[in-house]
Amino acid sequence: MSDQEQTTAAAGPSGPAAAAGPDGTGSGAEPEAGVSRRGLIGLALGASATSLVVGAGAGLVGGAAYGQDQARHAMDAVAPASGVHQVGITTPVQEHLHFAAYDMMARTTRDDLAELLADWTYAATRMMQGLDVSATGAVGGSPEAPPDDTGEALGLPASNLTITFGFGPSLFDSRFGLEGQKPAGLERLPAFLNDDLDPLRSDGDLCIQACADDPQVAVHAIRNLSRIAFGRATIRWSQLGFGRTSKTTAAQATPRNLFGFKDGTANILADDEAALDENVWVSASEGPAWLAGGSYLVARRIAMLIETWDRTRLAEQDRVVGRDKAQGAPLSGGDEFAAPDFAAAGPDGTPAIDARSHVRLAHPDMNGGIRILRRGFNFVDGTTDLGRLNAGLFFLSFQKNPDRFVALQRSLSTDALGEYIRHVGSGLWAVPPAPAAGASVGAGLLGA
């Protein structure tokens, strides 16, 4: 919900052999029999991790089931990438999300963790290319054994799927001998005003962010990665999201959140390398070596008091947000992309932008220049016991230092928007860089 409105994962799979092939042509051909697991990962991740999205997304352009915005989105995915960072951070934000947090099971070892990450990386690499999780997949194995792939993505294109992996503070305890590798900033987020956190919807040893332009493709990814984790990790909580609430390219239109306001106007964009280096990517001098080129992911499940907001007059909604609901322009004047003028006066002589408005309190000028990159999504999880919408914003942000998010969130303690929202879930994870060719995500941490 921040006016930062700024919002990578290793590879990830989605879809069958009949979907887009590794070259993005839609041939769906399986890799040659002689290609090893490590060879496939190297093929997919070696030159550019984000280039996986290029091939996977290219097949969407001609799909009749997708509108013009999705076609433009697929075209955006062709932009070159450095190959240093995981996909799913600066990648053009897709339309759907399935996010999951996991805990390693009792009595698992460091070898179990390394093996799980290797298996996840291999499966994710395939799914992001539109393939099943293995060569035998959903229908190519023995009819007398459970299939390797659950099959609900058979016939679907890769749908611009990205899968991003993160490591939580709790992973760095005595279980796996990682205490000395824990980044200084990787601690459980402190309590904030308006927090009403559900511990069963917060934190986790590991997290996976799966984003795609088809919800079934995103669900397929998490479903199969959870299945692969059986006996080693259990899912702690998960969240489905739809309708992105940010953008990461100038070609994407600014979306709206469930309060009806444009969200993501001032987000950091993928081509702003200076802003990304300054605000998102961890440099070699800012953390342990295994995290260089990575970032920190914050997830916040924010419940919106929809019925209360819907009974609020339009002028008050504008005042609370600090922007015009119709065009998204700051109340100080101009268009959506005009810089807010916090000194400007309104017709009655009072500040045009209220001192407690969300725009003002979240703006970099009021927070020492702090910016974050946002990739949030709307969610609606049915209704509550009182018959109200169980809905809100699943806030996701990437930043080079968690302290920046903490400072920004504390600045919002007097936010007028706080009357209409409650933070009910929370988590922080370190997101390592993309793995080297042939390696697994987290290999730098585990020395694998």
Q: Where do the domains of the chain lie?
A: 37-446
- Greater pLDDT, 75 or 374: 374
Query: Residue 404 — φ and ψ, nearest 5°?
Result: -70, -40
pLDDT at residue 83, rounded to an integer: 81
> For residues 65 and 240, which has the higher predicted lDDT (pLDDT)?
240
Instruction: Grade residue 448 by pLDDT with cuts at 50, 70 and 90.
Output: low
Q: Give tens-digit pLDDT for 167-190.
A: 999 999 999 999 999 999 999 999
Q: Reply yes or no on whether the pLDDT at 299 is more than 70.
A: yes
Q: Give the residue, 27 or 199, on which the prediction is more confident.
A: 199
Q: Are 91 and 80 in contact (CB under 8 A)?
A: no
Distance CA 230, CA 170 (A): 20
Please check the confidence at residue 242 and state whether its pLDDT lies above 80. yes
The rounded percent of the chain whose pLDDT value lies above 90 is 79
What mean pLDDT do residues 78-101 have?
82
Burial of 188 (0-12, 13-18, 19+ CB in 10 A): middle
More confident residue, 146 or 27: 146
Task: Round to whole Å and give the CA distance between 149 and 49.
Answer: 23
Tokens of 338: 């005009």
pLDDT at residue 52 is higher than 80: no
pLDDT (0 to 100) of residue 362: 97
The residue among 47, 125, 123, 41 whose CA lies nearest residue 82 is 47
Greater confidence, 23 or 218?
218
The pLDDT score that the predictor gives to residue 277 is: 97
Which has more confidence, 141 or 10?
Answer: 141
The CA-CA-CA angle for residues 107, 110, 116, to 5°, reads 90
CA distance 289 to 259: 42
User: Residue 382: helix, strand or coil by DSSP?
Assistant: strand
Strands 295-304 and 389-399: antiparallel
Q: pTM, whole model, 2 decimals?
A: 0.85
